């Protein structure tokens, strides 16, 4: 794979230097940026993520944390989100395998509101009643950041014809949740590195495709 595993141990005393180094690095990044993207978050030890994000939020309390979180279980996703304080999970529309699946993704992560809906939500209507209006709190799904494609996806034109790509971006923009794209990045960096392999004890990147 393309991830390096560090031995944090079960507590700071198990690897004091590593914990100090990573806390300093995390706090430095929090001073520079308003948000983090946690790659491979589902393989990050929970106690490590909790502690490092806690340190980052001492520097920037309103830090926005986006996570690549693919556990295969919404219950497990919720546990990680709640413990680490994740703002949004990355969800890729380019991975939808049919129009029905695409619609389900947009509806599911769009707070179950019709795409492009102007219908006033019940919560907004209740809050408009005044400061003493009671509001019923109900469970909600994990918040998502829908992306037409991410940095490690193939070029969209390798997966779909041009009209499909434009429609995908349009539907994403109408969804009732956070959205994002790296489309501009792929315009000036047209190389996709797609896999890693081991040869002669050296990890080398072996496949690169020139994007259109």
- Choosing from 2, 14, 28, 152, which is the catalytic residue? 152
- Choosing from 2, 39, 58, 77, which is the catalytic residue? 39
Catalytic: 184?
Answer: no
What is the secondary structure of 97-148 as a DSSP string? -SHHHHHHHHHHHTTT--TT--PPPHHHHHHTT-TT--------PPPEEEES
pTM of the predicted structure, to 2 decimals: 0.68
In tens, the pLDDT along 61-88 reads 999 999 988 887 878 888 888 889 999 8
Catalytic: 97?
Answer: no
Catalytic: 42?
Answer: yes
Mean pLDDT, residues 202-212: 37
Compute the distance between CA of residue 73 and CA of residue 206 in angstroms, rounded to an integer: 32
Task: Find the DSSP H helices in 40-95.
Answer: 46-59, 74-84
Mean pLDDT, residues 35-42: 88
pLDDT at 92 over 90: no
pLDDT at 60 over 80: yes
């Amino acid at each position: 794979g393309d991830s390096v595993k560090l031995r944090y141990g079960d507590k700071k005393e198990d690897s004091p230097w590593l914990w100090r180094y990573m806390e300093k690095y995390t706090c430095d990044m929090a001073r520079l940026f308003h948000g983090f993207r946690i790659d491979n978050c589902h393989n990050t030890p929970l106690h490590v993520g909790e502690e490092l994000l806690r340190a980052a939020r001492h520097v920037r309390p309103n830090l926005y944390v986006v996570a690549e979180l693919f556990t295969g279980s919404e219950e497990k996703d919720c546990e990680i989100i709640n413990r680490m304080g994740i703002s949004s999970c990355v969800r890729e529309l380019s991975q939808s395998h049919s129009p029905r699946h695409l619609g389900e993704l947009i509806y599911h992560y769009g707070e179950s509101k019709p795409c492009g809906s102007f219908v006033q939500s019940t919560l907004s209507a209740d809050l408009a009643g005044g400061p003493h209006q009671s509001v019923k709190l109900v469970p909600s799904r994990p918040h998502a950041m829908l992306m037409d494609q991410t940095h490690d996806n193939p070029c969209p034109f390798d997966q779909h014809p041009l009209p499909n790509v434009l429609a995908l971006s349009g539907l994403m923009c109408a969804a009732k949740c956070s959205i994002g794209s790296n489309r501009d990045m792929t315009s000036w960096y047209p190389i996709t590195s797609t896999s890693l392999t081991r040869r002669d004890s050296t990890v080398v990147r072996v496949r690169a495709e020139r994007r259109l």
